[in-house]
């Protein structure tokens, strides 16, 4: 079964918009309530004081998700490092993707980014399961030159026309979705920064689906890419986890008593 992890800073009054809840109605959801603590505060101390109200808030949210369709459960973590917590819990519950919450109403159209060195098959199969038999359209997006690892920046000087390989890749992906009964169009960004092009394209869509990428220098400086897209596009972002990070994280998983 497909599972999406939804991290929510419950004690910071963060919530999940109704649009995202209904969008995730086709999949199972693990709500990850988290609270990032300043270093002055022993985590156990915060837990004693805030556990009850955080759990109550999570339970309410969980009921909303369960009412929308899928299975839903919740976990609560006190941490100093949000990223580390999201990665650990995602690996433990074997989540296919995690969501970055954002404001949205009903979701009619998704923007699915295939830019970069991503596992297209994994992303598309997730999108198929997410959309299911609902009337949700998909725009497949690819930034030129960011297509595959082979044509890295060195091979494709800036401003070159999008090559046929990129276009073919997009069309193949669209065909696959159409076969699965999902209405799909394509959009190829011909120039400029892939990130800006993605934000521009996101304007006409309700939510963004993208693939997780290996940490880079840029993600160290500016933060996680999914977070940045969510911040710039306002709407929710669903980040499909990398199969590799899945495997490596599962390897270090430690016994958890159920």
- With CB under 8 A as the contact rule, the residue among 39, 133, 155, 164 that binds another protein is 39
* Nearest residue (CB) to another protein, 43 versus 181: 43
Query: Would you say 42 or 159 has its CB closer to another protein?
Result: 42
- What is the footprint of another protein within residues 43-82 (CB under 8 A)? 43-51, 54-55, 75-81
How many Cα atoms are found within 13 Å in the side-chain-facing hemisphere of 150? 3
| C-beta closer to another protein: residue 161 or 254 | 254
**Gap between the Cα atoms of 250 and 157, Å rounded:** 39
Report d(CA 212, CA 245) in Å as an integer. 9
Q: Which is nearer to another protein, 59 or 175 (CB)?
A: 59
* Binders in 88-117 for another protein, by CB under 8 A: 88
Shortest spacing between CB 63 and another protein, in angstroms = 17
Does 14 help bind another protein (rule: CB under 8 A)? Answer: no
Report residue 200 as tokens. 């521009």
Helix (H) or strand (E) holding 229: helix 225-233
Give the pair of three-digit tokens for residue 241: 């986890």
Does residue 248 touch another protein according to CB under 8 A?
Answer: no
Nearer to another protein, 84 or 160 (CB): 84
Smallest distance, Å, CB 81 to another protein?
A: 5
β-strand pairing of 97-100 with 109-113? unpaired
Q: Which two tokens stand for residue 46?
A: 């915060």
Residue whose structure tokens are 């934000």: 199
Torsion 182-188-194-196 (CA) sign: negative
Distances (CA, A) of 53 to 75, 98, 161, 226: 13, 24, 55, 28
Is position 255 an interface residue for another protein (rule: CB under 8 A)? yes
> Footprint of another protein on this chain (CB under 8 A)?
11, 35, 37-51, 54-55, 75-81, 84-85, 88, 252, 254-257
């Amino acid at each position: 079964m497909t599972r999406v992890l939804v991290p929510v800073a419950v004690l910071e009054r963060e919530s999940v918009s109704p649009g995202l809840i209904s969008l995730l109605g086709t999949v199972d959801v693990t709500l990850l309530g988290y609270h990032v603590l300043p270093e002055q505060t022993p985590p156990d101390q915060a837990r004693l004081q805030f556990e009850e109200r955080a759990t109550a808030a999570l339970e309410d949210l969980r009921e909303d998700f369960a009412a929308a369709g899928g299975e839903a459960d919740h976990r609560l973590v006190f941490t100093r490092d949000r990223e580390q917590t999201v990665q650990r819990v995602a690996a433990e519950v074997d989540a296919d993707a995690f969501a970055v919450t954002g404001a949205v109403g009903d979701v009619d159209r998704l923007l699915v980014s295939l830019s970069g060195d991503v596992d297209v098959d994994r992303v598309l199969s997730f999108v198929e399961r997410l959309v299911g038999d609902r009337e949700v359209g998909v725009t497949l997006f690819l930034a030129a030159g960011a297509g595959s690892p082979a044509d890295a920046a060195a091979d494709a000087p800036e401003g070159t026309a999008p090559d046929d390989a990129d276009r073919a890749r997009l069309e193949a992906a669209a065909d696959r979705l159409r076969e699965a009964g999902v209405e799909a169009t394509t959009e190829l960004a011909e120039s400029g920064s892939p990130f800006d092009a993605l934000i521009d394209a996101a304007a006409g869509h309700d939510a963004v689906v993208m693939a997780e990428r290996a940490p880079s220098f840029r993600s160290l400086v500016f933060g996680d890419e999914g977070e940045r897209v969510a911040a710039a596009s306002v709407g929710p972002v669903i980040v499909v986890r990398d199969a590799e990070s899945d495997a490596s994280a599962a390897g270090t998983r430690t016994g958890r008593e159920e």
